Amino acid sequence: MLAEKTVQIVKSTAPILQEHGETLTRHFYKRMFKHNPEVAPFFNPAHQTAGKQQRALAGAIAAYAANIDNLEVLGGAVELIAQKHASLMIKPEHYPIVGENLLASIREVLGDGATDEIISAWAEAYGFLADILIGREKQIYEENAKKPGGWEGFKNFRITRKEKESSNITSFYLVAADGAPLPAFKPGQYITVRVAMPDGQTTMRNYSLSDQPGQEHFRISVKREVPPEANTPAGFVSNWLHDRIEVGDTVEIAPPCGEFFLDVTEKHDRPLVLLAAGVGITPIMSILLTALDTMPERDIVFIHACLNEQVQAFKATVDALEKKHPKLKVHYRYSDAGTRTGNASTGFVTAELIESLLPGRDADYYFCGPQPFMVSIYHDLLKWGIPASQVRFEFFGPRQELERAA
């Protein structure tokens, strides 16, 4: 347990951290990458450029400080962070590096405000949180390694199929290069792909598994990331996969992780509402396929929002599923007014649209997509008074970014 005095000091510094949080963590990353360049490959450079990772850590620290005497409220956050860390192979030996650079940055940014008492309280509090994360991460590594077909670290997988799903999304089917069976995963979870960059360093990206568990392959479905504006680089890993990786090639992947999943053992007497936008369909597709197989009596509403049919992945598959399963109701929402056929409408996904497809609002909601979509759905569900336990989502970036926008 933390000393009462430590709790008081950390709580009393929460407002200062809130105020200086982003400056502090920007400073922290700059400092850490200079003094400890060995940890740089863990971090997504694009998240650094956009400041997302800085804000994620600042947010986590501020939340920790504010709730240090009531850590249960951080339970969900701890699981999210531990799963993310485990997907990237963050190990106990990395924690002192982060801790040392964080404390030094607090000192440098706060200047005279950072007394020895404050620094040592934070050192103790950091160690306490680090131990919680290290403990949970150890369990995840062990669970993943001991599953039949499981492993720890990165392992070579061979591409057995490469299939275009839409004008900008391509699926890759992967099997273990050593012929080992695949470990079970939960529908909604993601794997990590590690790739060598031209400078010799490696970089990692998470990709949700888009097929259901229990297949002879893992499948990921990747959107080609184009440069957001002129003179900015195109997405490195997505373009590398699209352009350079063909059937027969191998890629390194780490085991499935993630706390967003459909729990098939849970009671499911409410309808299931699955909302996807763009490439956010990938974990939702895995959940849809699993739900149809394991809960055939359940009412399912599936909405996929995207620009138009050209960029829409898995349309033919979902159309076929709807024909086969009377309990599945499908709707497509295109933001580009030009094209629409069948069960489709034009515009964005709104509360009215969701409600029009449901017998009542009481349902389990799972959603994934770009930030504006996520924020708008989240707000609508909160406004409807849907309990948090019935609202689950995956965001393809630091969660803090989403909460900040919300």
Ligand X SMILES: Cc1cc2nc3c(=O)[nH]c(=O)nc-3n(C[C@H](O)[C@H](O)[C@H](O)COP(=O)(O)OP(=O)(O)OC[C@H]3O[C@@H](n4cnc5c(N)ncnc54)[C@H](O)[C@@H]3O)c2cc1C
Q: Which positions touch ligand X (CB under 6 A)?
A: 44, 46, 49, 190, 205-208, 220-223, 225, 227-228, 232-239, 279, 282, 394, 396-397
How many CB atoms sit inside 10 A of residue 339's CB? Answer: 13
* 398 interacts with, out of ligand X, ligand HEM, none, CB within 5 to 8 A per kind: ligand HEM
* 234 interacts with, out of ligand X, ligand HEM, none, CB within 5 to 8 A per kind: ligand X
User: In the complex with ligand X, which residue's Cβ is closer, 236 or 384?
Assistant: 236
* 173 belongs to the catalytic site: no
Rounded to a whole number of angstroms, the minimum distance from the CB of residue 370 to ligand X is: 11
Query: What is the C-alpha separation between 225 and 170, in angstroms, rounded?
Result: 12
* 233 interacts with, out of ligand X, ligand HEM, none, CB within 5 to 8 A per kind: ligand X
Residue 98 interacting with ligand HEM (CB under 6 A): yes
Q: Give the type of residue at 207.
A: Y
CA-closest candidate to residue 57, choices 89, 17, 91: 17
**Strand, helix or coil at 303?**
strand
Member of 2, 123, 130, 264 binding ligand HEM (CB under 6 A): 130
* 245 interacts with, out of ligand HEM, ligand X, none, CB within 5 to 8 A per kind: none
* 271 interacts with, out of ligand X, ligand HEM, none, CB within 5 to 8 A per kind: none
Residue 57 interacting with ligand HEM (CB under 6 A): yes
User: In the complex with ligand X, which residue's Cβ is closer, 25 or 44?
Assistant: 44
Question: Which residues, at least 6 apart from 15, have a Cβ–Cβ distance to it below 8 Å?
Answer: none
Query: What is the C-alpha separation between 207 and 75, in angstroms, rounded?
Result: 24
Q: Which residue is nearest to ligand X (CB)?
A: 235
Q: Interior CA angle at 350 toward 73 and 324, to 5°?
A: 95
**Strand, helix or coil at 281?**
helix
Rounded to a whole number of angstroms, the minimum distance from the CB of residue 289 to ligand X is: 14
User: In the complex with ligand HEM, which residue's Cβ is closer, 32 or 303?
Assistant: 32
Could you give the count of Cα atoms lying within 13 Å of 208 in the half-sphere of its Cβ? 28
Residue 42 interacting with ligand HEM (CB under 6 A): yes
* 190 interacts with, out of ligand X, ligand HEM, none, CB within 5 to 8 A per kind: ligand X
Contact between residue 170 and residue 162 where contact means Cβ atoms under 8 Å apart: yes
* 101 interacts with, out of ligand HEM, ligand X, none, CB within 5 to 8 A per kind: none
String of DSSP letters for 82-150: HHHHHHTT--GGGHHHHHHHHHHHHHHHHGGGS-HHHHHHHHHHHHHHHHHHHHHHHHHHHHHHHSTT-
Q: Give the type of residue at 34.
A: K
Rounded to a whole number of angstroms, the minimum distance from the CB of residue 192 to ligand HEM is: 10
Question: Which residues, at least 6 apart from 184, have a Cβ–Cβ distance to it below 8 Å?
Answer: 147, 148, 213, 214
Query: What is the C-alpha separation between 100 and 95, in angstroms, rounded?
Result: 8
Number of residues that bind ligand HEM (CB under 6 A): 25
**Strand, helix or coil at 248?**
coil
Given the residues 95, 334, 365, 366, the one annotated as active site:
95
Given the residues 29, 64, 126, 137, the one annotated as active site:
137
Residue list 267-296, contact with ligand HEM (CB under 6 A): none
Could you give the count of Cα atoms lying within 13 Å of 200 in the half-sphere of its Cβ? 1
114: left (phi over 0), alpha (psi -120 to 50) or beta: beta
Question: Cα 148 to chain center, whole Å?
Answer: 25
* 137 belongs to the catalytic site: yes
User: In the complex with ligand X, which residue's Cβ is closer, 208 or 400?
Assistant: 208
Residue 123 interacting with ligand HEM (CB under 6 A): no
Residue 94 interacting with ligand HEM (CB under 6 A): yes
* 130 interacts with, out of ligand X, ligand HEM, none, CB within 5 to 8 A per kind: ligand HEM
Stretch 61-90: interaction string toward ligand HEM, x if CB under 6 A = -------------------xx--xx--x-x
Member of 16, 24, 65, 129 binding ligand HEM (CB under 6 A): 129
Rounded to a whole number of angstroms, the minimum distance from the CB of residue 133 to ligand HEM is: 6
Q: Roughly what angle, to the nearest 10 degrees, separates helices 95-110 and 4-35?
A: 100
User: In the complex with ligand HEM, which residue's Cβ is closer, 199 or 216?
Assistant: 199
Paired residues of 156 in beta bridges: 252
Burial of 226 per CB tally in 10 Å (0-12, 13-18, 19+): exposed
Q: Which residues bind ligand HEM (CB under 6 A)?
A: 39, 42-44, 47, 53, 56-57, 60, 80-81, 84-85, 88, 90, 94-95, 98, 126, 129-130, 133, 398-400
Catalytic machinery residues: 95, 137
